[in-house]
Amino acid sequence: MSIAGLKFLFSVKWKGKDLFDLVCRTLGLRETWFFGLQYNIKDTVAWLKMDKKVLDQEVPKEEPITLHFLAKFYPENAEEELVQDITQHLFFLQVKRKILEEEIHCPPEASVLLASYAVHAKYGDYDPSVHKPGFLAQEELLPKRVINLYQMTAEMWEERITACYVEHRGRTRDEAEMEYLKIAQDLDMYGVNYFLIRNKKGTDLLLGVDALGLHIYEPDNRLTPKCSFPWNEIRNISYSDKEFTIKPLDKKTNVFKFNSSRLRVNKLILQLCIGNHDLFMRRRRVDSLEVQQMKTQAREERARKQVERQRLEREKQLREEAERARDELERRLIQLQDEAHMANEALLRSEQTADLLAEKAQIAEEEAKLLAQKAAEAETEMQRIKVTAIRSQEERRLMEQKMLEVEMLALKMAEESERRAKEAEQLKQDLQEARESERRAKHKLLEITSKAVYTPPALPADSMPADLSFSRENLSFDFKDTDMKRLSMEIEKEKVEYMEKSKHLQEQLNELKTEIESLKLKERETPLDIIHNQNTEQGTNSFFSLLLLVAFL
């Protein structure tokens, strides 16, 4: 036997309950009252009866026998009634499939928001380095009716879904699935089973059975019921052959009778009526001990997960801080290495300049000595010429002229010697300045080298990301009875928070609707789309009525 993709072996003596319990134990499911085993029979469906043998029922006889493990009854408020994570996940998968297959009508703006929560439930928090454009190309996220209704490419739809997806950062998978269900449960066709019926006059109608009661619809309008019978206003439901009778609690109200097509459909309607009515009454009574224990365990598990998530977030934050500190140290080290390299180059240039100036000063000093020696030789020659002067006037004149030339030459040599001496003195000063620059460069290099030896600040014991042990305080949960006044205040606080969330949701949906409205193709609207738009304009749409009420408040 194949159930929900799993294969089971069972005894021919097993009853439906035996097989159902086996499936529930395999899935770890305790909230079994919502679910059942469904199978196809001719042109309709039926649910496996718990008190009869499996093979005595009208299940398909071919091997393997295929049954579908599905939600048979829906909660009025998913957040309050669904306790186990597995229960919530199964409802999320079933509701998502019904919306994508258009068994539940969903307006376009709500479809985009639901798709963003479905993406978050699958991929977790948005990461731009991982979730790059095109990562949703192979995902089925929107009903085909919505895609065909607008002149928008797949990239445009992905862009809008991703814009909503980014805002869900910080939620867990379970929280994203619950947000999905909270939005979906306000859709008009959520949790409604439809059956074709006829009234006394032979008019074709639709009967809707859901968690709140019975509803009568026009065949072409499954969104807005013509009339409704809440479970708390129904006194009795009975059928005889193909005729159904609904007796209201108020005896002044007329009894409603209708006919269905087949006896098998009548049995299915009665099963759904009994099951939904029982759950309706059960919700309004004090929870059983089993449910109370499940809710207590669920609260403890959520608290444990919250503490664990906070611990992981803290470790992640410390790891990121350590990585940032490491990157800063690496950046600082590179900067110091660059500064040291530049200082070394400056020192090398200073040493080369000092050597060059010292060489020039030595050459200038040698030239000055040579000029001084030549000047002394010229002076000696002049004295010798004066002592050995020629007697004749011509010789004296020539001698005087030569003496004059020698004096001029000596004067020039003296000037040149003085200039060379000044130049040598200037070169000595330049050499001294170069050596002083070299000394400063060495001093700066020493300072930079001393700065490069950096000792990182000691991190606290709880800031090490991986190899440190964390001390954990023991968590204890003490659930005590509180007085009615405190309970009322908490309920009032939850109402205010729910109103604020609903108001934000309404603004988000209106913004999405405004963004894509200009691309809408009116000629592709289905009759349900037109009815939905009319209901929205008239304020009768159940999906928006609660949100509008909250916004008004």
Annotated binding residues, written as ranges, equal 49-52, 267
Give CA separation, 100 vs 59, 124, 207, 519, in Å: 28, 21, 23, 21
End-to-end alpha carbon distance in the chain: 54
User: Which token pair is 174?
Assistant: 């379970």
3-state SS record for 399-460: HHHHHHHHHHHHHHHHHHHHHHHHHHHHHHHHHHHHHHHHHHHHHHHHHHHHHHCCCCCCCC
Relative to beta strand 256-260, strand 243-248 is antiparallel
What is the C-alpha separation between 507 and 485, in angstroms, rounded?
33
**Which residues touch 528 (CB under 8 Å, ≥6 apart)?**
105, 221, 222, 223
Burial 229-260 (b: 16+ CB within 10 A, else e): bebeebeebebeeeebebbbeeeeeeebebeb
What is the C-alpha separation between 268 and 44, in angstroms, rounded?
10
Question: Which run of H or E residues covers position 229?
Answer: strand 227-230
Strand, helix or coil for residue 17: helix
Question: Which run of H or E residues covers position 290?
Answer: helix 289-387
DSSP assignment string, 496-545: HHHHHHHHHHHHHHHHHHHHHHTTB-GGG--HHHHHHHHHHHHT--HHHH
Q: For residue 124, is it left (φ>0), alpha (ψ between -120 and 50) or beta?
A: left
> Which residue type occupies 88?
Q
Beta bridge partners of residue 37, listed in sequence order: 69
User: Which token pair is 48?
Assistant: 């496996």
Strand, helix or coil for residue 58: coil
What is the C-alpha separation between 444 and 447, in angstroms, rounded?
5
> Which residue type occupies 347?
L
